[in-house]
Structure 1
């Protein structure tokens, strides 16, 4: 269960350099085909943190085709996690686990001024009262998390993001749903696991969020094993009990996504997605990631917007591990 104190650091007394605490905050301007995010990784054992601010609006394997990239890997870690300002121009405030404020003054006339408000309780993937896929022991929970010990503690939260952004002098209003998360635990950069993270938002009455074990060495359609997820149906949060996923790839990027998801009330959700924008995201130097903004539809709904991330840790996928198809990058 996530409580108010979880907006604070969870640093253990014997903290080592592999310990990490993370925030992921994404948002969309669908009418402009813009996808933005703020990603923060706090390494208390090293006294440093990463803050990554990016915007994309097209499908490209080339990182320089992004609208804006500001990745800083060695910022000084703040004294507390509830309220802080960083040397890169970002200020963050967590009023509760469900409510955040972010302000950012970057470079080239780029700014972010957003409020994030959760639309449900934080979805703790290790709490059996919330997630029917939760495991009984901590060892089983880590193994089943989808991202190993990096998700030893982790919650997902679909939020409404509202405010304004400016990208290289051009301003945009933001009013969207996005699924964000907060994690803490050992996150080694050697032996990092492949994983997938995917969601679809059609409005506050219908959302699907999922976490996947991912093995890019297998053919498309056999790569993903469902670990955790939920649906929001008519405003009610429902944990997932089963799912299957087929991603047809062009290189590390999706071309077609087919999702089958069953919630705890045994309702089957069938979704299809195609990419609107994607990039090679490198949240860690060891881990390129196929990162996409996705357009979603169901048999009776259109206009869904969401995210697909698939991580390719280099110490795993190098040395001939991947099959030939996935090593041929396609960027239409």
Structure 2
């Protein structure tokens, strides 16, 4: 169960220099196809924090093709340390107004790009380690905690309102979206693959799910590890689910088909079409192939982000094998 104190920094494992605590807030303007991600990763035992602020509305295949990118690493963690109110050197200021419920997110790069939004939860924090919330904990012996990075982790869907200013152009934000908070040792090599995605149809219906996949078949088949349906304020943990992904040659999800079963034995069928592409380099050695997608479910249309995580050494190995398969045979 997630408690109010879990909104604050957790005591890191002694001697674990790779201990990390994260905040992620994602939101979008569906009409503009503009997807925004605000991320902070605190290496509390090292005293440093990295942060990425990204905005993208098109088919970006490199960070510099996006509408906006600011990646900064090794900034000092502000003192006194307070995850309920922190201001970073990159211009990000996050205030938790109600623990695990309401956050105010502000950003100003002093060059015409700003964020001014408020996130308000429409559900309790979903603890992936709590069997009372997440049926996958008791149904499956194999625990998926993204290595150890999700030793503590919750996902939560909420209503985000406000605006972003992109080099002087003001864009309104009024959407249902999903955030997360994680803590635990997070090495920069060896994490399993993960697809972290969600579909938001209204305040009355949203779906969030985490899947594992085999990179050898390019993540075509998805296998549920955690997730929920939030319907009219009630949370229904997912107990089974599969997915099939058709990807571009560069691994971005083009279409996704999901079949999910919740704790009330209801089956949910969802289909997505990718609208954007963006390579999010969330920390060294890791790239997430991000897509803002349009989702269909039960005659409803919604929007949400698909994040498919591959490590760079893994990608170079996969690409090398693909190139080898297509090399011409040279006869002596």
Q: Give the alignment's TM-score, normalised by structure 1.
A: 0.91
Q: Aligned residue pairs: how many?
A: 321
Q: Deviations over 1:156-177 (max 9, x none)?
A: 0001111121011100111111
Q: Tell me, in whole angstroms, the C-alpha distance in 2 between the residues paired with 1:98 and 1:118.
A: 5
Q: In 1, are the aligned partners of 2:230 and 2:236 still within 8 Å (CA)?
A: yes
Q: Tell me, in whole angstroms, the C-alpha distance in 2 between the residues paired with 1:84 and 1:221.
A: 39
Q: How does 1:42-191 map to 2 (within 5 A)?
A: 42-78=42-78, 79-95=81-97, 96-135=99-138, 144-145=143-144, 147-191=146-190
Q: Tell me, in whole angstroms, the C-alpha distance in 2 between the residues paired with 1:221 and 1:34.
A: 26
The offset of 1:145, in angstroms, is 2.1
Q: Tell me, in whole angstroms, the C-alpha distance in 2 between the residues paired with 1:227 and 1:50.
A: 27
Alpha-carbon spacing, 1:276–1:136, altered in 2? closer, same or farther (3 Å): closer
Q: Deviations over 1:9-68 (max 9, x none)?
A: 112361421100001100111111111010110001111111111100002212211111
Q: Tell me, in whole angstroms, the C-alpha distance in 1 between the residues paired with 2:111 and 2:143.
A: 43
Larger Rg: 2
Q: Tell me, in whole angstroms, the C-alpha distance in 2 between the residues paired with 1:133 and 1:296.
A: 24
The offset of 1:128, in angstroms, is 0.9
Structure 1 moving runs of 4+ over 6 Å: none
Q: Tell me, in whole angstroms, the C-alpha distance in 2 between the residues paired with 1:322 and 1:98.
A: 45
Q: In 2, are the aligned partners of 1:191 and 1:316 still within 8 Å (CA)?
A: no
Flag structure 1 segments of 5+ consecutive residues without an equivalent: none
For the aligned residues, what is the CA RMSD? 2.1
Alpha-carbon spacing, 1:49–1:233, altered in 2? closer, same or farther (3 Å): same
Alpha-carbon spacing, 1:119–1:320, altered in 2? closer, same or farther (3 Å): closer
Alignment of 1:24 onto 2:24: yes
The offset of 1:235, in angstroms, is 3.0
Aligned match of 1:5: 5
Flag structure 2 segments of 5+ consecutive residues without an equivalent: 327-332
Q: Tell me, in whole angstroms, the C-alpha distance in 1 between the residues paired with 2:14 and 2:167.
A: 43
**Partner of 2:6: helix, strand, or coil?**
helix
**Partner of 2:314: helix, strand, or coil?**
helix
Q: Tell me, in whole angstroms, the C-alpha distance in 2 between the residues paired with 1:192 and 1:134.
A: 20
Q: Deviations over 1:58-106 (max 9, x none)?
A: 0221221111111111111122211111111111111311111111111
Q: Tell me, in whole angstroms, the C-alpha distance in 1 between the residues paired with 2:316 and 2:218.
A: 17
Q: Give the alignment's TM-score, normalised by structure 2.
A: 0.91
Q: Tell me, in whole angstroms, the C-alpha distance in 1 between the residues paired with 2:131 and 2:227.
A: 13
Alpha-carbon spacing, 1:272–1:2, altered in 2? closer, same or farther (3 Å): same
Q: In 1, are the aligned partners of 2:216 and 2:318 still within 8 Å (CA)?
A: no
**Partner of 1:46: helix, strand, or coil?**
coil
